[in-house]
A and B are shown apart, each in its own frame.
Chain A
Amino acid sequence: KNQVEQSPQSLIILEGKNCTLQCNYTVSPFSNLRWYKQDTGRGPVSLTIMTFSENTKSNGRYTATLDADTKQSSLHITASQLSDSASYICVVSENAGNMLTFGGGTRLMVKP
């Protein structure tokens, strides 16, 4: 069964600090991996999407990495801001994108 595991489940950091969120998956055959940010009470917003051949992709202070050999991805947030407080969801797509597997998310809280 395809699975996407995210860690940690929750994280508290101080404003200005960096953090890294992890996503491990067993989805096969792999098509692409997307990271979403979901603010409380809002729908998810796409941050990055990576295909098999991409190792890293940035979106402002967000940098996602992908190791397709070990089936691991990370989302690194640099110089965190209070507005980064949200849930971050990793989603992995099977070949041709016909099926998606969602991770349970990491809830990040940035404190002043």
Chain B
Amino acid sequence: NAGVTQTPKFQVLKTGQSMTLQCAQDMNHEYMSWYRQDPGMGLRLIHYSVGAGITDQGEVPNGYNVSRSTTEDFPLRLLSAAPSQTSVYFCASSHSGQGRVQPQHFGDGTRLSIL
């Protein structure tokens, strides 16, 4: 049971480039979400999904897009990378009943640097 798998683990981008952070879970969880974690700050919710085909914005959605075509996958797209998006990104999932965006299982993160 792999849990929540994030790829890549590390990435360096130049300002203006775009990329997709991948997230997959094998627990058949309905809820998935993306967070960013910055030094000295708590985790902040970017986008979340309550099921395939349904997504919504979190606290800091600007500059990011998501889609949920399957239960298993929830990719996060950076449209035009900016240095302010340098951060560690975590994907999380949970069963229904834990709250709409209550994370139960986290991936190990993608460490992203924007030059």
Q: Do A and B bind each other?
A: yes
Contact of A89 among B40, B42, B44, B108 (CB under 8 A): B42
Give chain A residues whose Cβ lies under 8 Å from the Cβ of B44.
Answer: 102
Interface string of B73-108 (1 = CB under 8 A from A): 000000000000000001010000011111111111
A57 at the binding interface (Cβ < 8 Å): no
A31 touches B42 (CB 8 A): no
A43 touches B4 (CB 8 A): yes
Give chain B residues whose Cβ lies under 8 Å from the Cβ of A104.
Answer: 40-42
Main secondary structure of the interface of B (DSSP, over half): loop
Chain B contact residues (Cβ within 8 angstroms of A): what range? Answer: 20 to 34
Stretch at the interface among A11-19, A67-75, A76-84, A90-98: A90-98
Nearest CB of B to A89, in Å: 7
Contact of B108 among A41, A46, A91, A96 (CB under 8 A): A41
B32 at the binding interface (Cβ < 8 Å): no
Size of interface on A: residues with Cβ below 8 Å to B: 23
Contact of A97 among B92, B102, B105 (CB under 8 A): B102
Nearest CB of B to A101, in Å: 8
> Roughly how many angstroms separate A96 CA and B102 CA in the complex, as a whole number?
10
B43 at the binding interface (Cβ < 8 Å): yes
**20 more A-B contacts (CB under 8 A) besides A41-B108, A44-B90, A104-B40?**
A32-B99, A41-B109, A42-B109, A43-B106, A44-B103, A44-B106, A46-B103, A46-B104, A89-B42, A93-B99, A97-B100, A97-B101, A98-B99, A98-B100, A98-B101, A100-B45, A100-B103, A102-B43, A102-B44, A104-B42
Interface of B with A (CB < 8 Å)? Answer: 4, 40-45, 90, 92, 98-109
